[in-house]
Amino acid sequence: MKVLVTGGAGYIGSHVVRQLLLRGDDVLVLDNLVNGHREAVGVARLEVMDLSDNAGLKRLMKAFQPEAVIHFAAFIEVGESVRNPLKYYQNNTANGFSLLAACQEAGIRKFIFSSTAAVYGTPKAVPIPETASLAPINPYGFSKLFVEQALRDLAAASDFRYVALRYFNAAGADPSGEIGESHKPESHLIPLVLQAASGERKDISIFGTDYPTPDGTCVRDYVHVNDLADAHLKALDYLKDGGESRVFNCGYGHGYSVREVLDAVKRMTGKDFSVVEAPPRTGDPAELVADSRLLTEILKWKPQFDNLNAIIETVWNWELNRRY
Ligand code: UDP
């Protein structure tokens, strides 16, 4: 299938691009390379372009004529979205709308959207089903929720169909060691802990030790990026087979605390490092765990890396040999 992947040079996008290429799909990556990495795209074609470039988008749709679009391009830092909300509404929401308009004009009717568990805000209960109330607690979550809403409305108004995947905590790296997570600055727990283990960082902070969880630290559903990537391929096949528009949670349905992650990294790497107990980070819910039964039942998703050690091992492999 001819697939346009926006943000395909980013962390999750690049893992999806790799899997699409491996199964023989025809992929064009659109990325402005603000946070993406040229090296992450592999042999896929790359168009360096910003989604705000309406004329460019139009030209590209005409030239490539994709059958489907997978849309990753977005900013992802919750804290930054609180400090600079318009940056998020402009890039994630307004540019998302521009992309949808370009799709509509080009007659593209299959769309996969990279959404987030942040649309749930602070959940009333875990695991969180897709039907839980949508109540983001930061502009990042709203910037994604607005696009979800536009997708719902578009699908109701036309024969356009979409799948929105609400990611829990993406983690891990492709076992080849060729691609992985590389944010500058890095803010995500697992890469930071492994950088502490490798000596690249002097310590790791635990943000909050007094949460109402078994060990007082936040619990997250860490899902391996290749399992996440596989969910996109399955979503694409689902739309191709005529599946109706749907939203799916992407997570394993169980979580690990920050302390459990630190212990697992120490065990796996055999390295010790300093741990600092710090105050909680604003806007961090105590526990985020997916109810992902729909993904398993409807998309027949079969995760291959549902194991914290396996996730950590692939990140360690990446951190020791990273190329970007
Ligand atoms: N976290 C932490 N120390 C860090 C970075 C993150 O204790 O240096 C915690 C954070 O408070 C959250 C969990 O680790 O509970 C996962 O955070 P991350 O930023 O990786 O993902 P998020 O949950 O924000 O999407």
Q: Where do the H-state alpha helices sit in the chain?
A: 11-22, 54-64, 78-83, 85-88, 95-106, 139-157, 189-198, 225-240, 258-269, 293-298, 308-321
259 lines ligand 1 (CB under 6 A): no
Kindly state whether residues 7 and 76 are assigned to the same domain.
Answer: yes
Catalytic site residue from 11, 88, 120, 140: 140
258 lines ligand 1 (CB under 6 A): yes
Q: Is 121 left (phi over 0), alpha (psi -120 to 50) or beta?
A: left
pLDDT digits (tens, 9 = 90+) for 285-318: 999 999 999 999 999 999 999 999 999 999 999 9
Give the pLDDT of residue 282. Answer: 85
- What separation, in Å, do the N-terminal and C-terminal C-alpha atoms of the chain show? 29
Q: Which amino acid appears at position 224 of this protein?
A: H
CB 191 within 8 A of CB 315: yes
Span from the CA of 65 to the centroid of ligand 1 (angstroms):
39
Report the chain (324 residues): mean pLDDT per 10 consecutive residues: 98 98 98 97 97 97 98 95 96 98 97 98 96 96 98 98 98 97 93 96 97 98 98 98 98 98 97 97 92 98 97 95 91
Strand partners of residue 290: 128
Span from the CA of 9 to the centroid of ligand 1 (angstroms):
23
Span from the CA of 296 to the centroid of ligand 1 (angstroms):
26
Rounded Cα gap, residues 130 and 33, in angstroms = 32
Give the pLDDT of residue 283. Answer: 81
CATH number at residue 76: 3.40.50.720
The alpha carbons of the chain give a radius of gyration, in whole angstroms, of 19
Kindly state whether residues 211 and 230 are assigned to the same domain.
Answer: no
Cβ-Cβ contacts under 8 Å for 131 (sequence gap 6 or more): none
Q: Is residue 277 part of a domain?
A: yes
188 lines ligand 1 (CB under 6 A): yes
Q: Is residue 177 part of a domain?
A: no
Kindly state whether residues 115 and 245 are assigned to the same domain.
Answer: yes
Ligand 1 atom with minimal separation from the 207 CA: 7
How far CA 173 is from CA of 211, 226, 310, in Å, comes to: 29, 7, 10
How far CA 260 is from CA of 22, 203, 280, in Å, comes to: 34, 16, 17
Sign of CA dihedral 41, 43, 45, 48: positive
Q: Is residue 178 part of a domain?
A: no
Q: Is residue 181 part of a domain?
A: no
CB 213 within 8 A of CB 287: yes
Q: Which amino acid appears at position 75 of this protein?
A: F
Q: Output phi, psi for 276, to 5 deg.
A: -110, 130
Q: Is residue 271 part of a domain?
A: yes
Q: Which of 281, 282, 287, 308 to mutate to test the pocket of ligand 1 (most atoms within 8 A of CB)?
A: 281
Give the pLDDT of residue 201. Answer: 96
User: Domain range for residue 35?
Assistant: 2-171+222-250
Kindly state whether residues 157 and 270 are assigned to the same domain.
Answer: no
Residues constituting the chain: 324
Q: Is residue 179 part of a domain?
A: no
The Cα angle at residue 88 between residues 286 and 95, in degrees rounded to 5: 130
Span from the CA of 217 to the centroid of ligand 1 (angstroms):
10
Kindly state whether residues 233 and 300 are assigned to the same domain.
Answer: no
Q: Is residue 90 part of a domain?
A: yes
Give the pLDDT of residue 146. Answer: 98
Rounded Cα gap, residues 49 and 31, in angstroms = 6
- Which residue, by CA, sits nearest to atom 4 of ligand 1? 189
205 lines ligand 1 (CB under 6 A): yes
Total tally of structural domains belonging to the chain: 2
Kindly state whether residues 310 and 163 are assigned to the same domain.
Answer: no
Give the pLDDT of residue 97. Answer: 98
- Which residue, by CA, sits nearest to atom 12 of ligand 1? 218
Q: Output phi, psi for 30, to 5 deg.
A: -115, 120
- 3-class SS of residue 104: helix
Rounded Cα gap, residues 203 and 273, in angstroms = 6
Span from the CA of 208 to the centroid of ligand 1 (angstroms):
10
CATH number at residue 197: 3.90.25.10
**Do the bridges between strand 203-207 and strand 246-250 make them parallel or antiparallel, or are there none, so unpaired?**
unpaired
pLDDT digits (tens, 9 = 90+) for 159-212: 999 999 999 999 999 999 999 999 988 999 999 999 999 999 999 999 999 999
284 lines ligand 1 (CB under 6 A): yes
Q: Is residue 45 part of a domain?
A: yes
Kindly state whether residues 45 and 102 are assigned to the same domain.
Answer: yes
- Which residue, by CA, sits nearest to atom 6 of ligand 1? 189
Q: Is residue 120 flagged as an active site residue?
A: no
Kindly state whether residues 206 and 156 are assigned to the same domain.
Answer: no
Kindly state whether residues 124 and 227 are assigned to the same domain.
Answer: yes
Kindly state whether residues 297 and 236 are assigned to the same domain.
Answer: no
Instruction: Give the pair of three-digit tokens for residue 186.
Output: 């890095």
Kindly state whether residues 161 and 40 are assigned to the same domain.
Answer: yes
CB 2 within 8 A of CB 67: yes
Kindly state whether residues 208 and 230 are assigned to the same domain.
Answer: no
